[in-house]
């Protein structure tokens, strides 16, 4: 029968060679290969050494560090939303985790009592390692921890790393920490990304500061905080003329590269372009901007959502050998950030009004620029717009596992030939990239044709 197993859970147990068929697998408290004692030599009344006083590790359910992307190797626990002793439900946000691309809210896959939080805020852990334990009593937790190789959580924390390096805790001698931050180089992750909080990244971007030039931060493990950025001076010295700078590829750039490389290699991309008479769209946007605060991109996102409501294949994902058809249009909006781009998702676009969409799009985009991604993994289509840079047309790479991506060019002045007459016009070129495994040429052609109709007649179709 089919069963569901949590990521990181046990799928099967394999016997080593030489074991008798049908022999039971030793419990965690029993000696393993190489032990000088056998289970039969131990007193049956003697409690297992690995168990806590009266506790049972089988009653503990660990919550693991999530893998929010295919390239994520570790996560930083930014903030807990729960405390030890709290009772949580499935889907409840329990913490914020900083990944290789942004900060995301982590919804609990389990329900129960939070018996132990294994990470402190701003500490890191590899993916699929326990970050919290669910249990009804603390004796079970102690028994569970005793079964682990080190007798404690196996996650190496930033605080422990700092202690082993001889660094003083952040709470001690704040003046000395600030001085050290100026003289020491910036701390980087294994992937080369400067360690900094989302707020620090946002402030550095606003001030035009290079995080690497700020030096080591005053946060845990040398992490740069917004207060470090505030103290930094604008105008860090540039490299000498003609000198080549060499530095590790930022972790975000590496993650983006691997993800898109995998997309191009494994997804059969199919491209279609259409040129839209955008005069009515521009007028529609200008008339509604004072009331809704919308952008022209919001109007395009809304029209795309309305179109997706009519094409189930376009609001779908492909996950391994399954097609996941969503009931609504969940559209990702590509946002440029330091070292790359991220794609927060606006859910249920086809059900929103223009003012609702404008408000929600603004919220998720601002969060993304601060390092927090909304609705990660729930998108079924993405829109990327380079029109503001004067780009007339381009083809984009699909963000897996979504069905496609729409590339939007600039609304530019041109001429249109209509009924043999030439007239001045404002046009916009759209290029759709679709996954040919689920969206074939006919569906893509009908989709972009219907989208063009929405954009050229926004008053009657968008409302």
152 exposed, middle or buried (CB, 10 Å; 0-12, 13-18, 19+)?
exposed
Classified as helix, coil or strand, 378 is coil
**Distance (Å, whole) CA 362 – CA 451:** 23
DSSP codes joined into one string, 386-405 = -GGGT---------TTBSEE
User: What percentage of the chain exceeds 70 in pLDDT?
Assistant: 76
Prediction pTM value: 0.57
CA dist 447 to 272, 274, 300, Å? 10, 11, 14
Q: Which residues are catalytic?
A: 436, 440
| pLDDT tens, residue by residue, 12-51 | 655 544 444 344 333 333 334 344 444 444 444 444 444 4
* Peptide bond before residue 401 is cis, with ω within 30 degrees of 0: yes
Comparing 122 with 408, the larger pLDDT belongs to 408
**Distance (Å, whole) CA 75 – CA 255:** 14
422 exposed, middle or buried (CB, 10 Å; 0-12, 13-18, 19+)?
exposed
Residue 90 has pLDDT above 80, yes or no: yes
pLDDT the model gives residue 3: 59
In sequence order, the 6+-apart residues with CB closer than 8 A to the CB of 95 are: 77, 78, 79, 80, 81, 82, 105, 106, 131
| Alpha helices, H only, 211-353 | 211-214, 226-231, 251-266, 279-292, 296-308
pLDDT the model gives residue 25: 37
pLDDT the model gives residue 215: 83
pLDDT the model gives residue 164: 34
pLDDT the model gives residue 355: 93
Tokens of 78: 């930014």
Classified as helix, coil or strand, 87 is strand
Locate the DSSP E strands across 135-268.
Answer: none
Residue 366 has pLDDT above 60, yes or no: yes
Residue 327 has a CB neighbour count (10 Å cut-off) of: 11
Nearest to 351 by CA among 302, 314, 293: 302
**Confidence tier at 83 by pLDDT (50, 70, 90):** very high
CA angle (372 as vertex; 123, 200 as ends), nearest 5: 65
pLDDT the model gives residue 252: 76
pLDDT the model gives residue 121: 87
pLDDT the model gives residue 54: 66
Measured over all CA atoms, what is the biggest interatomic distance in the chain, rounded to whole angstroms?
100
| Alpha helices, H only, 196-250 | 198-207, 211-214, 226-231
pLDDT the model gives residue 146: 84
pLDDT the model gives residue 225: 80
Lowest mean pLDDT among 38-47, 268-277, 343-352: 38-47
| pLDDT tens, residue by residue, 259-270 | 888 899 999 999
Q: What is the length of the chain?
A: 463
**Distance (Å, whole) CA 76 – CA 360:** 27
| pLDDT tens, residue by residue, 130-175 | 999 999 988 889 888 888 744 444 333 333 333 333 333 433 333 4
* φ, ψ (nearest 5 deg) of residue 115: -90, -30
359 exposed, middle or buried (CB, 10 Å; 0-12, 13-18, 19+)?
middle
Comparing 245 with 87, the larger pLDDT belongs to 87
User: Mean pLDDT across the chain, nearest whole number?
Assistant: 79
Residue 335 has pLDDT above 80, yes or no: yes
**Confidence tier at 180 by pLDDT (50, 70, 90):** very low
| pLDDT tens, residue by residue, 441-456 | 999 999 999 999 999 9
* φ, ψ (nearest 5 deg) of residue 215: 95, -170
HSE, side-chain direction, 13 A CA sphere, residue 448: 25
Lowest mean pLDDT among 97-101, 280-284, 324-328: 97-101
Tokens of 443: 């569906």
**Distance (Å, whole) CA 349 – CA 308:** 9
**Distance (Å, whole) CA 142 – CA 15:** 28
């Amino acid at each position: 029968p089919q069963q569901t197993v949590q990521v990181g859970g046990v799928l099967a147990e394999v016997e080593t060679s030489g074991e008798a068929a049908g022999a039971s697998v030793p419990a965690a408290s029993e000696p393993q290969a190489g032990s000088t004692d056998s289970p039969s030599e131990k007193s049956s009344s003697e409690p297992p050494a690995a168990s806590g006083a009266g506790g049972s590790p089988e009653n503990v359910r660990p919550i693991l560090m999530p893998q929010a992307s295919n390239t994520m190797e570790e996560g930083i626990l930014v903030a807990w939303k729960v405390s030890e002793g709290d009772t949580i439900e499935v889907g409840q946000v329990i913490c914020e985790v900083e990944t290789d691309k942004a900060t995301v809210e982590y919804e609990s896959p389990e329900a129960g009592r939070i018996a132990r939080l294994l990470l402190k805020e701003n500490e890191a852990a590899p993916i699929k390692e326990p970050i919290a334990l669910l249990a009804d009593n603390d004796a079970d937790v102690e028994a569970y921890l005793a079964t682990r190789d080190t007798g404690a959580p196996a996650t190496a924390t930033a605080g422990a790393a700092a202690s082993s390096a001889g660094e003083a805790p952040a709470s001690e001698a704040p003046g000395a920490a600030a001085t050290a931050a100026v003289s020491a180089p910036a701390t980087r992750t294994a992937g080369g990304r400067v360690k900094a909080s989302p707020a620090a990244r946002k402030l550095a971007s606003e001030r035009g500061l290079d995080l690497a030039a700020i030096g080591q931060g005053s946060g845990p493990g040398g992490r740069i905080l917004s207060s470090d950025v505030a103290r930094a001076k604008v105008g860090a010295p540039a490299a000498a003329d003609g000198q080549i700078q060499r530095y590790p590829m930022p972790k975000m750039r590496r993650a983006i590269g691997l993800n898109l490389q995998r997309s191009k290699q494994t997804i059969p991309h199919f491209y279609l372009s259409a040129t839209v008479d955008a005069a009515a769209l521009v007028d529609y946007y200008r008339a509604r901007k004072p009331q809704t605060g919308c952008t022209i991109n919001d109007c395009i996102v809304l029209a795309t959502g309305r179109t997706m409501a009519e094409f189930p294949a376009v609001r779908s994902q492909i996950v391994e050998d399954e097609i996941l058809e969503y009931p609504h249009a969940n559209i990702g909006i590509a946002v440029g950030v330091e070292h790359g781009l991220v794609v927060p998702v606006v859910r249920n676009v086809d059900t929103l009004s223009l003012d609702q969409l404008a408000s929600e799009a603004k919220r998720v985009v601002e969060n993304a620029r601060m390092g927090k991604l909304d609705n990660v993994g729930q998108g079924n289509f993405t829109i990327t717009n380079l029109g503001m840079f004067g780009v007339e047309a381009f083809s984009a790479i699909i963000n897996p596992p979504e069905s496609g991506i729409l590339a939007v060019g600039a609304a530019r002045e041109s001429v249109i030939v209509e009924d043999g007459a030439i007239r001045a016009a404002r046009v916009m070129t759209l290029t759709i990239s679709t996954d040919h495994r689920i969206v074939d040429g006919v569906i893509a052609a009908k989709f972009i044709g219907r989208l063009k109709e929405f954009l050229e007649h926004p008053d009657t179709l968008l409302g």
